[in-house]
Amino acid sequence: MELKRTVCRRILILTAIFMFVLLLLVDSAIYLGLIAFSEKVSFLSQSYPKIPEIKNLSDQIEAIRNNFRSYGLPVSAVIFAALGFLFCLLSRFFIVKLINHSGFAVGKKPGTPLMKTEFDRKGEENNDRRIFLHLLSVLQREGRLLDFFLEDLSEYEDSQVGVAVRNIHENCKKVIDKYVDLNAVANEMEGESMTVGPNFDSSAVKLTGNVTGEPPFRGIVRHRGWQVVRLRMPTLSGSGNPNIIAPAEVEIP
């Protein structure tokens, strides 16, 4: 996004400079041309004073030159501004479209390559997928989380489910504590009032209920949210099938 903003800003500045210089050149050429033509006609009028047409032509050119200063310059400025605006919009559209289809990675730190190859993108997607599956694998190994989710609980009494949930909760919490440090997004406790100011982060604060008008808003905290303070994910090796979340266990008698 930052790359798009930078490109669009430069397009706007360069277009404004180009149109301003072009406006000066065109208006100067027209005005100087009128002056030169007026001088020639005025010379002819003085040389042939008995020809009224030449005198009328000289007066008309002088009137055109005066009107050009009063009306021609503002009108031409408006025309060039409109053309520059249209050119800027078209340039922005095509350049942003080119950026979106060229594989440029926006928002990178200075000094890092901006272009990602298809191989790099697939590698990152595969790595993210492996990390997600690895987390499921650890939750299954330590807390038997998938076994619990995929089990038909209708066959068990509530007391039996409660005991199982307590054990799964304890083991899965150990996994979360091992890999992730979490903090609440909101400092206020649930049930307390909270003011959401202007320019709030919509990814961090979700507004519900009767949301009308413009911030700041005053509401009740229904959930404090969670944010990652520190992540300790392991480096995954290239060996092994990443799609295997939990291996089948076979006991050999």
Q: Which two tokens stand for residue 76?
A: 């031409």
- Separation of alpha carbons 138 and 127, rounded Å: 16
How confident is the model over 70-93, as pLDDT tens digits? 777 777 778 877 887 787 777 777
Burial pattern 99-121, b for ≥16 Cβ within 10 A else e, equals eeeeebeeeeeeeeeeebeeeee
Question: How much is the pTM?
Answer: 0.44
> What is the predicted pLDDT for the residue at 189?
95
> What is the predicted pLDDT for the residue at 2?
61
> What is the predicted pLDDT for the residue at 218?
92
- Separation of alpha carbons 104 and 98, rounded Å: 9
> What is the predicted pLDDT for the residue at 236?
67
> What is the predicted pLDDT for the residue at 99?
66
- Separation of alpha carbons 84 and 116, rounded Å: 33
* DSSP-H helix ranges across 68-217: 73-102, 118-143, 145-150, 158-179
Question: Could you report the average pLDDT of every consecutive run of 10 residues in the chain (253 residues)?
Answer: 68 80 81 77 71 73 74 77 78 71 51 55 72 83 86 86 88 88 93 92 92 91 92 70 81 85
